[in-house]
Chains A and B, each alone.
Chain A
Amino acid sequence: MIMDETNMRIVVKLFATLVRFKDGSRAGRPFEVDLPDGSAVKDLIDLLKIPPQETHVVFINNIIEGPDSQLKDGDVVGLFPPVGGG
C-alpha cells in the first residue's frame, strides 16, 4: 500500500491464537499496517483476514474498544481471541 495523505499507519499486536493470521509473527510482536483515513478497527480486522468472531477483545492504546471504534494515525492496536483463566 502506498502511503499518502489519506492514509494512516497503525501499530498492531496479535495475541494467542490470532498470531497465525500474520506470517512469522509472535504474540505481542508489533508490526505496522497502513489503512485509509477514517478506518475503524473492523476494517483492520478485515485487512488482516481475521474472521470477526475470532477477535474478542480489542485494545487501542491500552484502552478496551469495540470493532466500530475509529482509528487514527499512530494508534497501537492489540487484538485478542477469547482469553481468561485465574
Chain B
Amino acid sequence: MAKKILRINMTTLKAAYEAVPEKWSRWAGRGLTSAIVCDEVDPMCHPLGPNNKVVIAPGWVTGSPAAPSSGRTSFGGKSPLTGGIKESNAGGLSGQMIAKLGLAAIIVEGTPLKGEWYTLVVSKDGVKFESAADLVGKGMYEVDELLWKKYPKTAVIGIGQAGEMKLSNAGISVNDPENKPGRYAGRGGMGAVMGARGVKAMVIVDTGGPGVEIANQDLFKQGRKKLTESIQEHGLTKKAGGLNAFGTAVLVNILNEAGGLPTRNFSAGQFEGAAKISGEAIAEVCEKRGGEGMMGHGCHPGCIIKCSNIYPNESGEAIVSCIEYETTWAMGANCGIDELDYIAKMTRECNDIGLDTIEAGNTVAIAMEGGLLPFGDAEGAFKTFDEIRRGTPLGRILGQGVEATAKAFGVSRVPTVKGQSMPAYEPRAVKGIGVTYATTPMGADHTAGYTIAPEIAGVSGKLDPLSDEGKAELSLTFQAATAFIDSSGYCLFIAFPILDIAKGWEGMAESVAGVTGLNITGADVIPLGKEILKMERLFNEKAGFTAEDDRPPEFMRNESLPPHNVKWSITDDQLDSVFAWVHNGQKA
C-alpha cells in the first residue's frame, strides 16, 4: 500500500488522507518536511500566525524491520527563533509508529478558536480531536503519564508550558520507551509553532497499521547487514564503545583538551570543572548510585548504539533521561557550573516545561553575564526555570532564548547565528564547525554539518581544528551528508562508522534503496543532500535572508579565545563560497 499524507486542519477540525504527490514522492524525513514547508508555507509568514504549519515525517527506513538505530522523526516548519526554515530531529517512539501507520508525513495546519486546546489521537482509523483542557498548564512528565493511562504504549508528542506560551525556545517532546519526555525536537522553537496550532499533544496508536513496505527485500537486507556490521565494528559505536559506555558527554573532556569547550558564555575554551561534568563522571554516578541509573540506554526500540542514559539521584531514583553532551555543557561549563546533580535537575526542568536545553543553558549564561545571577550559581540557575514554567515576565524573557535575553540584559557577547545560539563547540578553536554554524539554513547548529568528526574525533581522517584551510568545502560535504542521513530516519550517530568504514556508507544507501525502491547508491548521498539544502536555502532567501546572515557573531572576530588565543579568521568570501553553487556561483 502506498504511503499517504495525513493532513490535519485545526481550523475546521477535520483530517484527510492524501496520496503523496509525485513532487514529494522521493523524499522522507528532513527532505520531505523541507519540501512540504517550501511548497506550502509562505516564507514571509509570521511563524506563530495562521499560515505556518507543523510537518512531521519519519525517515525512509524508519519502522522497517530491524534497520539499526533508525527511529528518528523530523519536525519541520518556519522557526520562530530564526525566522527561517527548520527541521528539528528527535528520537523516541514517534517515528516508528507514524511509519507503521503507513504515513509519509503528517501536516498540521490552521488554528482553532482562541483558547481551545486539543489532543490529536492518530490511529489507523484517522484522527480524533479530543479536548486537551485537562492537560493544559501541565508539564510533559504529567502529560505523558496521563495520556498513557488512556492510550498505553503509544507514542506521545507534546508541548510543555513553554509551547503553550509560544515561547521561541519551546521544543516538541517525544516520549521514550519508559514514557518519559526526554527526546526533543528541541531546536528552533517548533513547540511554539505546535502551540500556535492549538495542539497540546498527539498520540500515535500504531495498532493495526499496515506497516512499512519493503520494495526490494534482498537489497534492504544486504544494506542493513553492512550498516549493522559497521556500527558493531567501529570503536565509538560498538557495544561498550565510547558512546555506549559514556554517552555523548564523552566529548566533554576531548573538547576541553582541545581548548574548544565554550566556557562562561563563550569567554574561554577550557573549563576547570570539565572532568566533573563529563560522560565518565556521569557513568561513575550511575555505577555508584545504581537503582534506576544506567548508561547504554536506547531512546527507541531497535537502537543498537544506545548512547542515552538515565541519571539517578542519591537513592537511585531516576532524575532524568538523558544528560547529553550538549546539555551537560550548556547547563555546566557554559554557566560555570560543575555539579552534575544540578545539571540533571535543570535538564529535567527543560524536559518538563518543554525547552531546548542548548538554548536554555546559553540563556542562563547570558543572564549570568548580564548580572541577573553570578556564573557558577547552580541553585540560582535552577530557579530560573520555574520563572519560565510560571510565565512570569522574567520567565517569558528567558523563554525567548539568547537574543531576547541579551537585549533585556544589555549583553553584547551573543553567540548566535540567525537568531539561534551555538552548541558546545567553540568556532574560534574548531573552525570547520564555525563554518557550519554560519552557513547552515538552520541557524547555529552542530548537527547540521558535524565537522567535529575529522577536526577533533579523528573520524574520516584528521584535520587541524585551528586551521582555516579547506573548511568551507569540508562543511558543505558534511552538511550534504547530514541532510541525507536526516532524511533516512537513521540516527546521525551512524555517521561515525559509515565515514570510517566504506561498507557502512554503501549499506546505508542500499537499505534506503531497498525500502523505497529508489535507485540510490552511496554515490547519490551527497547530491541528494545538496538538493535538500538548496530547497532550504531558497526558502530562507525568500524569508529575507542574505549573505550577512551567514556570519558568526562580531565578538568572535574581536576577542581572543584562551587557551589558544585565537580569533575567528575565516573570511566572508570563504563563507559565501559554501553555498555559491545554489546560484551557480552568481550572487543571490
Chain A positions within 8 Å of B, measured between CB atoms, are 13, 15-17, 19, 26-29, 54, 56-57, 59, 62-64, 66, 78, 80-86
Contact = CB atoms under 8 A, between A and B. Distances in A.
B493 A86 contact: yes
Given A64-B465, A78-B257, A85 B251 contact: yes
B128 interface: no
Given A83-B236, A84-B457, A85-B247, A57 B275 contact: no
Contacts, number: 111
A3 B307 CA distance: 44
Contact of A85 (B240, B250, B563): B250
Interface in B431-456: 446-447, 450, 452-453, 456
Contacts of A56: 235, 457-458
B413 interface: no
Contacts of B563: 62
B281 interface: yes
Given A16-B280, A82-B457, A83-B251, 9 more contacts: A17-B240, A17-B241, A17-B245, A19-B280, A29-B275, A66-B462, A78-B254, A78-B257, A81-B235
Contacts of B307: 85
B280 A84 contact: no
Given A15-B280, A59-B258, A83 B274 contact: no
29 contacts: A15-B253, A15-B254, A15-B280, A16-B246, A16-B253, A16-B279, A26-B275, A26-B280, A27-B275, A28-B253, A28-B275, A29-B275, A54-B235, A56-B457, A56-B458, A62-B270, A62-B564, A64-B462, A78-B257, A81-B242, A83-B250, A83-B254, A84-B251, A84-B457, A85-B248, A85-B307, A86-B325, A86-B326, A86-B446
Contacts of A81: 235, 242
B252 to A, nearest CB: 9
Interface in B478-495: 492-493
A60 to B, nearest CB: 10
- Please name the 10 residue pairs, one residue from A and one from B, whose CB atoms are nearest each other, closest first: A85-B248, A82-B235, A27-B280, A28-B275, A82-B236, A84-B457, A78-B257, A83-B242, A83-B250, A57-B458
Interface residues of B, number: 49
A28 B278 contact: yes
A54 B234 CA distance: 11
A27 B326 contact: no
Nearest to B248: A85
A84 B496 contact: yes
B532 interface: no
B459 interface: yes
B504 interface: no
Contacts of A19: 280
B464 interface: yes
A80 B564 CA distance: 20
Given A56-B458, A86-B248, A80 B254 contact: yes
Contact of B257 (A26, A29, A62, A86): A62
A82 B450 contact: no
Contacts of B326: 86
A55 B447 CA distance: 25
Contacts of B281: 27
A28 to B, nearest CB: 4
Given A16-B280, A57-B456, A83-B457, A27 B253 contact: yes
Contact of B258 (A27, A64, A66): A64
